[in-house]
Amino acid sequence: MNTHELIQTLREPATTKIVLLVADGLGGLPVEKGGKTELETANTPNFDALVKDGVCGLSTPVLPGITPGSGPGHLSLFGYDPLEYRIGRGILEALGINFAVGPKDVCIRGNFCTLGADGKITDRRAGRPSNEKNAAAVARLRTIQIPGVELFVEPVREHRFVLVIRGDGLGDAVNDTDPQQVGVAPLKAEGADPASAKTAAVVNEFIAKAVEVLAPEAPTNGATLRGFARMPNIATFEQVYGLKAAAIAVYPMYKGLARLVGMDILDPGQTLQGQVDTLKSVWDKYDFFFLHYKYTDSTGEDGNFPAKVEMIEKLDKVVPQIRALNPDVFIVTGDHSTPSRMKSHSWHPVPTVLAADATCRPDDVATFGERDCLRGGLGQFQGAHLMLLAMAHAGRLGKYGA
Protein backbone atom coordinates (compact mmCIF):
# COMPACT_ATOMS: atom_id res chain seq x y z
CA MET A 1 0.00 0.00 0.00
CA ASN A 2 1.43 3.37 -0.99
CA THR A 3 0.79 6.65 0.81
CA HIS A 4 -2.09 7.71 -1.40
CA GLU A 5 -3.85 4.38 -0.93
CA LEU A 6 -3.37 4.72 2.83
CA ILE A 7 -4.89 8.20 2.83
CA GLN A 8 -7.88 6.97 0.85
CA THR A 9 -8.55 4.28 3.48
CA LEU A 10 -8.13 6.66 6.43
CA ARG A 11 -9.70 9.91 5.24
CA GLU A 12 -12.85 11.07 6.97
CA PRO A 13 -15.41 13.72 6.00
CA ALA A 14 -15.24 17.06 7.77
CA THR A 15 -16.13 20.70 7.25
CA THR A 16 -12.68 22.00 8.12
CA LYS A 17 -10.72 24.25 5.77
CA ILE A 18 -7.02 24.22 4.86
CA VAL A 19 -5.04 27.10 3.38
CA LEU A 20 -1.63 26.44 1.80
CA LEU A 21 0.21 29.69 1.07
CA VAL A 22 3.29 29.02 -1.06
CA ALA A 23 5.89 31.77 -1.24
CA ASP A 24 7.85 30.52 -4.23
CA GLY A 25 11.58 30.22 -3.54
CA LEU A 26 11.08 31.38 0.06
CA GLY A 27 14.31 30.04 1.54
CA GLY A 28 17.53 32.00 1.18
CA LEU A 29 21.11 32.53 2.32
CA PRO A 30 23.04 35.35 3.96
CA VAL A 31 25.04 37.50 1.55
CA GLU A 32 27.93 37.62 4.00
CA LYS A 33 29.15 35.02 6.46
CA GLY A 34 27.27 35.32 9.72
CA GLY A 35 24.62 37.58 8.19
CA LYS A 36 20.89 37.10 7.86
CA THR A 37 18.87 35.52 5.07
CA GLU A 38 16.24 37.46 3.16
CA LEU A 39 13.46 36.05 5.36
CA GLU A 40 15.41 36.78 8.54
CA THR A 41 16.09 40.32 7.35
CA ALA A 42 12.48 41.08 6.46
CA ASN A 43 10.13 42.75 8.93
CA THR A 44 7.35 40.15 9.23
CA PRO A 45 5.20 40.81 12.30
CA ASN A 46 2.28 38.82 10.93
CA PHE A 47 4.31 35.75 10.02
CA ASP A 48 5.93 35.98 13.45
CA ALA A 49 2.52 36.08 15.13
CA LEU A 50 1.50 33.00 13.13
CA VAL A 51 4.69 31.24 14.20
CA LYS A 52 3.95 31.91 17.87
CA ASP A 53 0.57 30.23 17.46
CA GLY A 54 1.82 27.34 15.35
CA VAL A 55 4.64 24.89 14.90
CA CYS A 56 7.66 25.31 12.63
CA GLY A 57 10.20 23.31 10.71
CA LEU A 58 12.22 23.02 7.52
CA SER A 59 10.87 20.99 4.63
CA THR A 60 12.97 19.09 2.10
CA PRO A 61 11.16 19.10 -1.26
CA VAL A 62 12.83 16.06 -2.81
CA LEU A 63 15.88 14.66 -1.01
CA PRO A 64 18.75 16.26 0.92
CA GLY A 65 21.14 17.90 -1.52
CA ILE A 66 18.74 17.68 -4.49
CA THR A 67 17.78 21.01 -6.05
CA PRO A 68 14.14 20.87 -7.16
CA GLY A 69 12.44 22.57 -10.04
CA SER A 70 9.11 24.26 -9.39
CA GLY A 71 7.21 21.21 -10.64
CA PRO A 72 8.71 18.68 -8.21
CA GLY A 73 8.64 21.27 -5.42
CA HIS A 74 4.91 21.86 -5.76
CA LEU A 75 4.00 18.22 -6.36
CA SER A 76 5.78 17.46 -3.10
CA LEU A 77 3.71 20.10 -1.29
CA PHE A 78 0.55 18.57 -2.79
CA GLY A 79 1.62 15.20 -1.36
CA TYR A 80 2.77 13.57 -4.60
CA ASP A 81 6.20 11.94 -4.29
CA PRO A 82 8.30 13.88 -6.84
CA LEU A 83 10.49 10.82 -7.40
CA GLU A 84 7.44 8.79 -8.41
CA TYR A 85 5.70 11.54 -10.37
CA ARG A 86 8.30 13.00 -12.70
CA ILE A 87 6.36 15.68 -14.55
CA GLY A 88 8.07 17.72 -17.25
CA ARG A 89 7.70 21.48 -17.08
CA GLY A 90 6.31 21.65 -20.59
CA ILE A 91 3.06 19.94 -19.67
CA LEU A 92 2.66 22.27 -16.70
CA GLU A 93 3.11 25.36 -18.84
CA ALA A 94 0.65 24.04 -21.44
CA LEU A 95 -1.98 23.22 -18.83
CA GLY A 96 -1.31 26.56 -17.17
CA ILE A 97 -2.51 28.43 -20.25
CA ASN A 98 -5.38 25.93 -20.65
CA PHE A 99 -4.02 24.42 -23.86
CA ALA A 100 -6.02 21.34 -24.86
CA VAL A 101 -3.25 18.72 -24.67
CA GLY A 102 -3.86 15.68 -26.88
CA PRO A 103 -2.49 12.12 -26.89
CA LYS A 104 -0.03 12.85 -29.72
CA ASP A 105 1.39 15.98 -28.11
CA VAL A 106 4.81 16.68 -26.64
CA CYS A 107 4.71 19.92 -24.65
CA ILE A 108 7.80 22.04 -24.09
CA ARG A 109 8.52 25.14 -22.04
CA GLY A 110 10.26 27.80 -24.14
CA ASN A 111 12.43 30.69 -23.02
CA PHE A 112 13.29 33.63 -25.21
CA CYS A 113 16.96 34.45 -24.80
CA THR A 114 19.45 36.95 -26.18
CA LEU A 115 22.13 35.66 -28.53
CA GLY A 116 25.33 37.50 -29.37
CA ALA A 117 26.81 37.68 -32.87
CA ASP A 118 28.78 34.51 -32.08
CA GLY A 119 25.58 32.57 -31.29
CA LYS A 120 26.32 32.42 -27.57
CA ILE A 121 23.74 33.34 -24.93
CA THR A 122 24.22 36.73 -23.31
CA ASP A 123 20.92 36.76 -21.35
CA ARG A 124 18.95 33.58 -20.61
CA ARG A 125 15.70 35.54 -20.12
CA ALA A 126 16.12 38.22 -22.82
CA GLY A 127 15.84 40.97 -20.22
CA ARG A 128 12.40 39.73 -19.12
CA PRO A 129 10.54 41.31 -22.06
CA SER A 130 7.07 42.79 -21.78
CA ASN A 131 4.12 40.57 -22.55
CA GLU A 132 3.60 42.63 -25.72
CA LYS A 133 7.16 41.90 -26.84
CA ASN A 134 6.58 38.24 -26.02
CA ALA A 135 3.47 38.15 -28.20
CA ALA A 136 5.33 39.74 -31.11
CA ALA A 137 8.12 37.17 -30.89
CA VAL A 138 5.60 34.31 -30.63
CA ALA A 139 3.88 35.58 -33.78
CA ARG A 140 7.17 35.15 -35.65
CA LEU A 141 7.68 31.63 -34.27
CA ARG A 142 4.22 30.68 -35.52
CA THR A 143 5.43 31.14 -39.09
CA ILE A 144 7.74 28.13 -38.72
CA GLN A 145 6.58 24.93 -40.37
CA ILE A 146 8.20 21.49 -40.24
CA PRO A 147 6.98 18.61 -42.42
CA GLY A 148 5.36 15.66 -40.65
CA VAL A 149 4.27 17.47 -37.48
CA GLU A 150 1.97 20.24 -36.32
CA LEU A 151 3.49 23.05 -34.27
CA PHE A 152 1.63 25.18 -31.76
CA VAL A 153 3.40 28.16 -30.19
CA GLU A 154 1.59 30.01 -27.41
CA PRO A 155 2.67 33.02 -25.34
CA VAL A 156 2.89 32.71 -21.56
CA ARG A 157 4.40 35.92 -20.16
CA GLU A 158 7.68 37.83 -20.13
CA HIS A 159 10.32 35.49 -21.60
CA ARG A 160 8.21 32.32 -21.46
CA PHE A 161 6.27 30.55 -24.17
CA VAL A 162 4.94 27.06 -24.86
CA LEU A 163 5.79 24.89 -27.85
CA VAL A 164 3.58 21.86 -28.52
CA ILE A 165 4.66 19.35 -31.16
CA ARG A 166 1.86 17.09 -32.39
CA GLY A 167 2.53 14.02 -34.47
CA ASP A 168 2.83 10.26 -34.61
CA GLY A 169 5.64 8.38 -32.90
CA LEU A 170 7.05 11.25 -30.82
CA GLY A 171 8.84 10.75 -27.50
CA ASP A 172 9.60 13.12 -24.63
CA ALA A 173 12.98 11.79 -23.43
CA VAL A 174 14.83 14.81 -24.81
CA ASN A 175 17.42 16.93 -23.03
CA ASP A 176 16.90 20.63 -22.35
CA THR A 177 18.56 22.95 -24.83
CA ASP A 178 18.99 25.61 -22.14
CA PRO A 179 22.59 25.30 -20.84
CA GLN A 180 21.58 27.22 -17.66
CA GLN A 181 24.45 29.67 -18.13
CA VAL A 182 25.54 32.56 -20.31
CA GLY A 183 28.60 32.73 -22.53
CA VAL A 184 27.84 29.43 -24.24
CA ALA A 185 25.63 28.40 -27.16
CA PRO A 186 22.28 26.63 -26.66
CA LEU A 187 22.61 22.87 -26.47
CA LYS A 188 21.67 20.53 -29.28
CA ALA A 189 18.59 18.41 -28.57
CA GLU A 190 19.16 14.66 -28.46
CA GLY A 191 16.67 11.85 -27.86
CA ALA A 192 17.24 8.93 -25.52
CA ASP A 193 15.23 6.53 -27.72
CA PRO A 194 14.06 6.40 -31.36
CA ALA A 195 10.75 8.17 -30.67
CA SER A 196 12.50 10.90 -28.69
CA ALA A 197 15.18 11.20 -31.37
CA LYS A 198 12.37 12.05 -33.80
CA THR A 199 11.23 14.81 -31.44
CA ALA A 200 14.80 16.05 -31.05
CA ALA A 201 15.22 16.34 -34.82
CA VAL A 202 12.09 18.49 -35.01
CA VAL A 203 13.34 20.64 -32.14
CA ASN A 204 16.74 21.26 -33.68
CA GLU A 205 15.12 22.32 -36.93
CA PHE A 206 12.68 24.54 -35.05
CA ILE A 207 15.47 26.27 -33.08
CA ALA A 208 17.52 26.89 -36.24
CA LYS A 209 14.53 28.47 -37.95
CA ALA A 210 13.68 30.43 -34.79
CA VAL A 211 17.05 32.19 -34.91
CA GLU A 212 16.26 33.30 -38.46
CA VAL A 213 12.75 34.60 -37.82
CA LEU A 214 13.60 36.22 -34.48
CA ALA A 215 16.58 38.19 -35.78
CA PRO A 216 14.58 41.46 -36.05
CA GLU A 217 13.21 41.01 -32.50
CA ALA A 218 16.45 41.52 -30.53
CA PRO A 219 16.97 41.17 -27.63
CA THR A 220 14.44 38.32 -27.95
CA ASN A 221 16.46 36.91 -30.85
CA GLY A 222 16.89 33.33 -29.67
CA ALA A 223 15.05 30.55 -27.84
CA THR A 224 15.84 27.62 -25.61
CA LEU A 225 13.56 24.69 -24.77
CA ARG A 226 13.18 22.64 -21.60
CA GLY A 227 10.86 20.26 -19.80
CA PHE A 228 9.73 17.97 -22.64
CA ALA A 229 6.63 16.12 -21.48
CA ARG A 230 3.53 14.20 -22.43
CA MET A 231 0.29 14.22 -20.45
CA PRO A 232 0.75 11.92 -17.42
CA ASN A 233 -1.77 9.65 -15.73
CA ILE A 234 -2.15 10.97 -12.19
CA ALA A 235 -4.77 10.65 -9.45
CA THR A 236 -6.59 13.88 -8.69
CA PHE A 237 -6.40 15.79 -5.44
CA GLU A 238 -10.03 15.00 -4.70
CA GLN A 239 -9.55 11.29 -5.44
CA VAL A 240 -6.64 11.12 -3.00
CA TYR A 241 -7.74 13.46 -0.21
CA GLY A 242 -11.48 13.84 -0.68
CA LEU A 243 -10.97 17.61 -0.71
CA LYS A 244 -12.58 20.09 -3.07
CA ALA A 245 -9.62 22.30 -3.91
CA ALA A 246 -9.18 25.74 -5.44
CA ALA A 247 -5.99 27.19 -6.91
CA ILE A 248 -5.50 30.95 -6.69
CA ALA A 249 -2.38 31.70 -8.70
CA VAL A 250 -1.25 34.43 -11.09
CA TYR A 251 1.47 32.70 -13.13
CA PRO A 252 0.33 30.11 -15.70
CA MET A 253 2.73 27.34 -14.72
CA TYR A 254 1.33 27.14 -11.20
CA LYS A 255 -2.17 27.04 -12.58
CA GLY A 256 -0.92 24.14 -14.68
CA LEU A 257 0.40 22.30 -11.64
CA ALA A 258 -2.93 22.72 -9.90
CA ARG A 259 -4.91 21.72 -13.00
CA LEU A 260 -2.73 18.60 -13.32
CA VAL A 261 -4.01 17.34 -9.95
CA GLY A 262 -7.59 18.40 -10.62
CA MET A 263 -7.92 21.63 -8.63
CA ASP A 264 -10.36 24.27 -9.80
CA ILE A 265 -8.44 27.17 -11.35
CA LEU A 266 -9.72 30.58 -10.27
CA ASP A 267 -8.88 33.91 -11.87
CA PRO A 268 -7.68 36.44 -9.27
CA GLY A 269 -6.31 38.94 -11.74
CA GLN A 270 -2.68 39.99 -11.48
CA THR A 271 -2.36 41.30 -7.91
CA LEU A 272 -1.77 39.79 -4.48
CA GLN A 273 -4.80 41.63 -3.10
CA GLY A 274 -6.82 40.18 -5.96
CA GLN A 275 -5.77 36.71 -4.81
CA VAL A 276 -6.85 37.42 -1.24
CA ASP A 277 -10.15 38.91 -2.40
CA THR A 278 -10.76 35.79 -4.51
CA LEU A 279 -10.04 33.60 -1.49
CA LYS A 280 -12.64 35.50 0.52
CA SER A 281 -15.23 35.29 -2.24
CA VAL A 282 -15.07 31.49 -2.57
CA TRP A 283 -14.43 30.61 1.07
CA ASP A 284 -17.70 28.69 1.47
CA LYS A 285 -17.28 26.70 -1.75
CA TYR A 286 -14.04 24.76 -1.13
CA ASP A 287 -12.20 22.70 1.48
CA PHE A 288 -8.63 23.42 0.37
CA PHE A 289 -7.08 26.61 -0.98
CA PHE A 290 -3.70 26.82 -2.72
CA LEU A 291 -2.38 30.38 -2.95
CA HIS A 292 0.80 30.93 -4.93
CA TYR A 293 3.07 33.99 -4.64
CA LYS A 294 5.78 34.20 -7.29
CA TYR A 295 7.83 37.26 -6.50
CA THR A 296 9.96 35.81 -3.70
CA ASP A 297 11.37 33.52 -6.39
CA SER A 298 11.84 35.92 -9.30
CA THR A 299 13.69 38.47 -7.15
CA GLY A 300 15.91 35.68 -5.84
CA GLU A 301 16.69 34.53 -9.37
CA ASP A 302 17.57 38.12 -10.26
CA GLY A 303 20.06 38.17 -7.40
CA ASN A 304 18.24 41.11 -5.82
CA PHE A 305 18.45 40.60 -2.04
CA PRO A 306 16.68 43.87 -1.05
CA ALA A 307 13.87 43.24 -3.53
CA LYS A 308 13.29 39.73 -2.18
CA VAL A 309 13.11 41.17 1.33
CA GLU A 310 10.56 43.69 0.08
CA MET A 311 8.46 40.96 -1.55
CA ILE A 312 8.44 38.93 1.67
CA GLU A 313 7.29 41.99 3.61
CA LYS A 314 4.56 42.63 1.03
CA LEU A 315 3.27 39.08 1.47
CA ASP A 316 3.37 39.40 5.25
CA LYS A 317 0.92 42.30 5.10
CA VAL A 318 -1.95 40.18 3.74
CA VAL A 319 -1.64 37.44 6.37
CA PRO A 320 -4.17 39.06 8.77
CA GLN A 321 -6.83 39.00 6.04
CA ILE A 322 -6.31 35.26 5.58
CA ARG A 323 -6.31 34.57 9.32
CA ALA A 324 -9.53 36.56 9.68
CA LEU A 325 -11.26 33.80 7.69
CA ASN A 326 -10.36 31.39 10.53
CA PRO A 327 -8.90 28.51 8.53
CA ASP A 328 -8.65 25.35 10.60
CA VAL A 329 -5.17 24.77 9.17
CA PHE A 330 -2.99 27.54 7.78
CA ILE A 331 0.38 26.61 6.27
CA VAL A 332 3.03 28.99 4.96
CA THR A 333 6.02 27.52 3.15
CA GLY A 334 7.85 27.49 -0.19
CA ASP A 335 8.33 24.98 -2.96
CA HIS A 336 12.10 25.37 -2.77
CA SER A 337 14.75 27.89 -1.77
CA THR A 338 15.98 30.57 -4.17
CA PRO A 339 18.85 32.43 -2.48
CA SER A 340 19.53 35.76 -4.17
CA ARG A 341 23.18 35.07 -3.47
CA MET A 342 23.03 32.09 -5.85
CA LYS A 343 20.55 33.58 -8.37
CA SER A 344 18.97 30.15 -8.73
CA HIS A 345 16.99 27.41 -7.02
CA SER A 346 18.92 25.55 -4.36
CA TRP A 347 18.73 22.39 -2.26
CA HIS A 348 18.42 24.21 1.08
CA PRO A 349 15.41 23.15 3.22
CA VAL A 350 12.48 25.55 3.22
CA PRO A 351 11.07 27.41 6.25
CA THR A 352 7.57 26.16 7.10
CA VAL A 353 4.93 27.10 9.65
CA LEU A 354 1.71 25.20 10.35
CA ALA A 355 -0.95 26.80 12.51
CA ALA A 356 -4.02 24.90 13.71
CA ASP A 357 -5.65 26.34 16.82
CA ALA A 358 -7.49 23.18 17.81
CA THR A 359 -4.65 20.68 17.51
CA CYS A 360 -1.30 22.45 17.29
CA ARG A 361 1.47 21.62 19.74
CA PRO A 362 3.33 24.95 19.83
CA ASP A 363 7.09 25.15 20.00
CA ASP A 364 9.27 27.96 21.35
CA VAL A 365 9.89 29.64 17.99
CA ALA A 366 8.85 33.30 17.91
CA THR A 367 10.09 34.54 14.53
CA PHE A 368 9.83 33.16 11.00
CA GLY A 369 13.30 32.47 9.64
CA GLU A 370 15.64 29.67 8.64
CA ARG A 371 17.60 29.49 11.89
CA ASP A 372 14.49 29.63 14.05
CA CYS A 373 12.58 27.07 12.01
CA LEU A 374 15.49 24.67 12.46
CA ARG A 375 14.61 24.63 16.17
CA GLY A 376 10.90 24.12 15.56
CA GLY A 377 8.70 21.21 16.53
CA LEU A 378 8.35 19.90 12.98
CA GLY A 379 12.13 19.51 12.67
CA GLN A 380 13.41 18.77 9.19
CA PHE A 381 10.86 16.72 7.28
CA GLN A 382 10.00 15.56 3.78
CA GLY A 383 7.83 18.08 1.95
CA ALA A 384 5.63 15.29 0.60
CA HIS A 385 4.52 14.58 4.20
CA LEU A 386 3.09 18.07 4.70
CA MET A 387 -0.35 17.14 3.35
CA LEU A 388 -0.52 14.26 5.83
CA LEU A 389 -0.01 16.77 8.64
CA ALA A 390 -2.55 19.15 7.11
CA MET A 391 -5.16 16.40 6.86
CA ALA A 392 -4.50 15.21 10.42
CA HIS A 393 -4.72 18.71 11.93
CA ALA A 394 -7.91 19.29 9.93
CA GLY A 395 -9.49 16.22 11.54
CA ARG A 396 -9.72 14.43 8.21
CA LEU A 397 -7.67 11.28 8.94
CA GLY A 398 -8.85 8.35 11.01
CA LYS A 399 -6.78 5.92 13.04
CA TYR A 400 -4.48 3.43 11.30
CA GLY A 401 -4.88 -0.11 12.58
CA ALA A 402 -6.73 -1.57 15.55
DSSP string for residues in 212-275: HHHGGGTTS-EEEEEEEEPPP----HHHHH---EEEE-SSHHHHHHHHHTTPEEE--TTSHHHH
pLDDT band with cut points at 50, 70 and 90 for residue 217 = confident
With residue 198 as reference, give the H or E element that holds it: helix 194-214
Q: Is the pLDDT of residue 157 over 90?
A: no
Q: What is the mean pLDDT of residues 30-40?
A: 95
Q: What is the pLDDT of residue 87?
A: 83
Is the pLDDT confidence value at 276 over 90?
A: yes
Q: What is the mean pLDDT of residues 234-258?
A: 94
> What 3-state class would DSSP assign to 119?
coil
Could you tell me the residue ranges of all domains in the chain?
A: 3-86+234-393, 92-229
> What is the per-residue pLDDT across 288-315, written as a single tens digit (0 to 9) for each?
999 999 999 999 999 999 999 999 999 9
Residue 285 has pLDDT above 90, yes or no: yes
pLDDT at 130 (0 to 100): 92
Residue 273's pLDDT band (cuts 50, 70, 90)? very high
* CATH entry 3.20.20.70 includes domain 3-86+234-393: no
Rounded-to-integer distance, Cα 268 and Cα 288, Å: 16
- Whether 93 has a pLDDT exceeding 90, the answer reads no
| Better-predicted residue by pLDDT, 260 or 326 | 326
Strands 350-355, 55-60: pairing is antiparallel
55-66 confidence digits (pLDDT tens): 999 999 999 999
Could you tell me which residues come within 8 angstroms of residue 236 by beta carbon, excluding any fewer than 6 positions away?
Answer: 261, 262
Q: What is the pTM of this model?
A: 0.83
Helices (H), 82-142: 89-96, 131-141
